[in-house]
Amino acid sequence: MSNKVTLTRFIIEQQREWPDASGTFTLLLNNIVTACKQIAHKVSRGQLIGVLGSAGSENVQGEVQKKLDIITHDIMVNQLIWTGHLAGMASEEIDDVITIPAHYTKGKYLVMFDPLDGSSNIDVNLAVGTIFSVLRCREGIEPTLDDFLAKGAEQVCAGFVLYGPSTMLILTTGQGVNGFTLDQDIGEFMLTHPNMRIPEETGEFAINMSNHRFWEAPVQRYIDECLQGKEGVRGKDFNMRWVASFVADVYRILNRGGVFLYPLDNRDPTKPAKLRIMYEANPMAFIIEQAGGMCTTGYERVLDIKPSGVHQRVPVILGSKNEVERIIRYHQDA
């Protein structure tokens, strides 16, 4: 690993391309990474330190919280709240935005995060992760909810950390997508996957097939055609992959292509979509587009949506460009 570039060096070298950069963003990103290293340690220890299982509570979305949901939320907040780089934060695990206490300096960024994506997998030892998004904010102000409700296209940075066999950080600052692997021996993320690009063609799709009867006709049409394989109108066989962990499914697509769908459905009229726009859909859409893929609801580009609330849900269809374009056409035909 001696010839590998560390994440810190990578960010500093990118910063040098912007003569007016103050270095504040680099420091903020280092704090986020430090929090993720702490989370990686907790996840890897599991039941050895008694962090698995239900916490006996629900989050703002009415989802049962795991112990690690609460622990990882606290790690992120405690690592970021004092830094002076932030004007505020938002987390999947609590209802309201998180303000910076008066005795800390306020900065010019807002951070939104899902501290433990895929936490339903944690008790069975499958991959989970952390997703984060960074927006600019007017410096020195007390942000209001409206300051958080920006279109995804306004993000200055997005990333996720996958806690799998290796701990991986995927990052974009709007100049492509790069992947870093945590070297446990030295405690540093090293650049191992530079300039990640998603193949435009694919033979894989990821979707929760148990919801088939609740989908709209365009999605049913697309999936049915994939299942027909060589004998169907597509004339080729597809493989289905489904981890039930957004970070794991997106990481696979970044590496070998594919399409991921968590579409609109009519199972619960109060929750027509699953994924939250601010700290799940937007950061992943930014990453996917920077890697040459596409991300849509089926009807519009995710990054063009003006959120109406921090916990707003949206349908998400993302991945290899040619397949996503086909699914969009099916929605237009319908």
Q: Which residues are annotated as a binding site?
A: 92, 114, 116-120, 208, 274, 280
Cβ neighbours around 144 below 10 Å, total: 10
Burial 288-327 (b: 16+ CB within 10 A, else e): bbbbbbbbbbbeebbbebebeebbbbbbbbbbbbebbeeb
Rounded distance between C-alpha atoms, residue 114 and residue 90, angstroms: 9
Rounded distance between C-alpha atoms, residue 57 and residue 65, angstroms: 6
Rounded distance between C-alpha atoms, residue 282 and residue 44, angstroms: 28
* Residues in the annotated binding site for Mg(2+): 92, 114, 116-117, 280
CB 98 within 8 A of CB 134: no
Residue 196, C-beta contacts closer than 8 angstroms, at least 6 positions apart: 170, 176, 177, 178, 179, 254, 255, 291
* Residues in the annotated binding site for substrate: 117-120, 208, 274
**Tokens representing residue 18 in the block:** 């912007």
Q: Which residue has the tokens 């995927």?
A: 170
In eight-state DSSP terms, residue 266 is S
Nearest Cα residue to 289 out of 274, 276, 304: 304
Bridging pattern class, strands 109-117 and 86-91:
parallel
